[in-house]
Amino acid sequence: MDDDTDASEPTRLARLLSNPLRLRRAARILIVAIALGSGVAWATLDGAAQSLVLAFGWIALPFIALALGVGEGFFIEHGRRLRRNIATLLLSVVLALGSCVALAVVPDGGQSTARSIVSGSTYALFYAAIALGLGAACAIAFGRGGAYLGRRIQEVDDEGW
């Protein structure tokens, strides 16, 4: 058996987590993919299959939003994109509330194709808005909190415990 793999070579996950640009891009791609999948499931599936797809989306949501927040938080920590994330947070709250109201008003899509398309796309918008809002909130927390935490650790270290 030839084992030529280097034990010091980082894994694919470690490489992804070490680069905030890749992490942010991967999180955004996952948000779009799961939002579209959830919207299609909401509009076309019924019963257990629909519940399974939607549950997978909601279970994956916090992890994806956390990854997006870490990726965006890196830029906030270095003095960039704070206003953009605040605007994203506010806009996502408005979109999530609006799409929630639209989902409550639009009847189920079982009767016509147009209603199914509207209902599914509204659900996809709802999922994406919540994911982007949580990601922006995590980014603001990590970006602003990382500098504060670093200063506090340095102060404690300077005092000598």
Task: List the chain domain ranges.
Answer: 13-159
Percent of the chain's residues with pLDDT above 90: 45
Q: Which helix (H) or strand (E) holds 66?
A: helix 47-77
Residue 105 pLDDT = 87
Residue 108 pLDDT = 63
Residue 54 pLDDT = 92
Residue 22 CA to residue 142 CA, distance in Å, equals: 17
The candidate with the shortest Cα–Cα distance to 53, out of 69, 37, 77, is: 37
The candidate with the shortest Cα–Cα distance to 41, out of 50, 32, 29, is: 50
Q: Which helix (H) or strand (E) holds 15?
A: helix 12-18
Percent of the chain's residues with pLDDT above 70: 89
The predicted model gives 86-91 an average pLDDT of 95
pLDDT digit string (tens) for 50-67?
A: 899 999 999 999 999 999
pLDDT digit string (tens) for 98-156?
A: 999 998 987 765 567 888 888 889 999 999 999 999 999 999 998 887 777 777 777 88
The candidate with the shortest Cα–Cα distance to 97, out of 129, 141, 72, 63, is: 129
